[in-house]
């Protein structure tokens, strides 16, 4: 049996908090692999992305190259239209054995909005959720789970509580403030060399 983690996002840019979340999920859930899936057109982000698709894909590849269990999957970049998690997980499950387990790695703030996602009940049938708290997200244990996800489909991930966001990184770049410490070195160099953001 294989245990596969999935971490999706715009990765605009990918940063150390993404990598820490994936690493902690891999360790705590004994995941064999973690797929990083850059999204094409995320339905919940109205303003789109700042870096183009190929730049976000390349930054993700650079960020994970030192970790053999981490892989990039461009399945959402190959599709046209919005990227729905349920479609992505369903497609990935077709490549796995029936007994293999899929863990959708997600922060509590996004998980708490699961009921507003496209076909959330089907998504909860296809995978487990590896849910991590984020700074300011409150106490997960005593919070109400989304109605579409039974509690037995949820695993809590303990992660260090530090706040890094792609939005903050882009703002720092735009205003000339330091951001080097928030990114893997290879991603920092790529952004500088290509004048992204």
What was the pLDDT predicted at 135?
Answer: 45
CATH homologous superfamily, domain 3-194: HUPs (3.40.50.620)
Q: Identify the weakest region by mean pLDDT among 35-39, 79-83, 131-135, 167-171.
A: 131-135
pLDDT at 39: 92
Query: Is beta strand 154-157 parallel, antiparallel or unpaired with respect to 128-132?
Result: parallel
Tell me the sheet residues that pair with 104.
6, 129
pTM of the model: 0.91
* Domain boundaries, given as residue ranges, for the chain: 3-194
* pLDDT for the residue numbered 59: 98
Q: Using CA atoms, how far apart are residues 48 and 40, in angstroms rounded to an integer?
A: 9
Q: What sign does the dihedral 4-6-11-14 (CA atoms) show?
A: negative
In this prediction, residue 47 carries a pLDDT of 60
CA 141 to chain centre: 21
- Cα(154)–Cα(195) distance, rounded to whole angstroms? 40
Please tell me the predicted confidence (pLDDT) of residue 82.
83
Q: Which pLDDT value is given to residue 133?
A: 78
At residue 124, φ and ψ (nearest 5 deg) are -65, -25
* Percent of the chain residues topping a pLDDT of 90: 81
Task: Give the sign of the dihedral formed by CA 182, CA 71, CA 7, CA 160.
Answer: negative
Q: Read off the pLDDT of each residue in 114-121 and give the average, rounded to a whole number.
A: 96
By CB atoms closer than 10 A (0-12, 13-18, 19+), residue 66 is: exposed
The first and second tokens of residue 88, run together, are 């992505």
The whole-angstrom separation of Cα 25 and Cα 48 is 28
Asked if 53 and 40 touch (Cβ cutoff 8 Å), the reply is yes
Predicted confidence at residue 83, as pLDDT, reads 84
């Amino acid at each position: 049996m294989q245990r596969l983690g999935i971490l999706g996002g715009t990765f605009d840019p990918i940063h150390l908090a993404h990598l820490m979340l994936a690493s902690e999920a891999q360790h705590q859930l004994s995941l064999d692999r973690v797929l990083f899936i850059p999204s094409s057109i995320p339905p919940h982000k109205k303003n789109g992305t700042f870096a183009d698709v190929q730049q976000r894909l390349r930054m993700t590849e650079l960020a994970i190259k030192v970790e053999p269990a981490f892989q990039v999957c461009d399945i959402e970049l190959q599709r046209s239209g919005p990227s729905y998690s349920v479609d992505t997980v369903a497609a990935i499950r077709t490549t796995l054995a029936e007994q293999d387990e899929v863990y959708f790695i997600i922060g509590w703030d996004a998980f708490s909005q699961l009921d507003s996602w496209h076909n959330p009940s089907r998504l909860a049938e296809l995978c487990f959720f590896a849910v991590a708290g984020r700074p300011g997200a409150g106490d997960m244990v005593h919070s109400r789970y989304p109605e579409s996800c039974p509690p037995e489909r949820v695993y809590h991930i303990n992660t260090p509580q530090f706040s890094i966001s792609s939005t903050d990184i882009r703002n720092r770049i735009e205003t000339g403030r330091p951001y080097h410490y928030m990114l893997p070195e290879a991603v920092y160099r790529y952004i500088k060399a290509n004048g992204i953001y």
